[in-house]
Structure 1
Amino acid sequence: MDHSTSDSQLNPSEVDYEFESNEVSEPVYLQLMALKPLSVVDDELVPKVGMTFTTLEDAGKFYRNYAKAAGFSTRVRCTNRKGNEIKNQLITCSREKK
């Protein structure tokens, strides 16, 4: 049995080399920077820090309207309760990590 060559060795002349790069050329970068936002949402639909709502349903409706205008859907991420009463609910983009 000849152990001088192994079936698992590669012959460099038989290998195709393909290189990929994550570098962005300057012209492409400048073109990307010139793109417009995907959606423009009316300022009165955009949620603001400190907003309050009378009911959970009102808050959900407001955020669903904002999401629709911005082009995404929502889901309830978590709900905090005290007994049977909902105290806090986190609504997020449906693509946000769980």
Structure 2
Amino acid sequence: MSRSDDDTRTVSLRRDVPVPMAVYKVVMVFSMLIAIVLVVGGFSLVDSATDRGTADPDDVDPVLALAGVGLVATGAVVYVFSTRFRAEEMENAKDADDEPSDNG
């Protein structure tokens, strides 16, 4: 396989979504806000379901606990999805033509 084939494969596997800076700022602010609210809400539900971690296993509300874990997981997914976006003005030094791709 030639070097140009490797470069083409690397470019096609990229998961960054370039957007204008204004869109990037909106996406980052609101996705972080949503993720934080979901994670804090999820932990609050788990805390409530387990009576602050002091409830006996028979007294734990499994539906409320699973809802809390689901909210935490959803917050994580929102955060991970938001990291795919980057502003068009943001440039990675490794992406420059004068930098070799194997420079660590």
Normalised to the residue count of structure 1, the TM-score between the two structures is: 0.29
Normalised to the residue count of structure 2, the TM-score between the two structures is: 0.28
Greater length-normalized contact order (CA 8 Å, ≥ 6 residues apart) = 2
Larger Cα-atom Rg: 1
Q: Which has the higher helix share?
A: 2
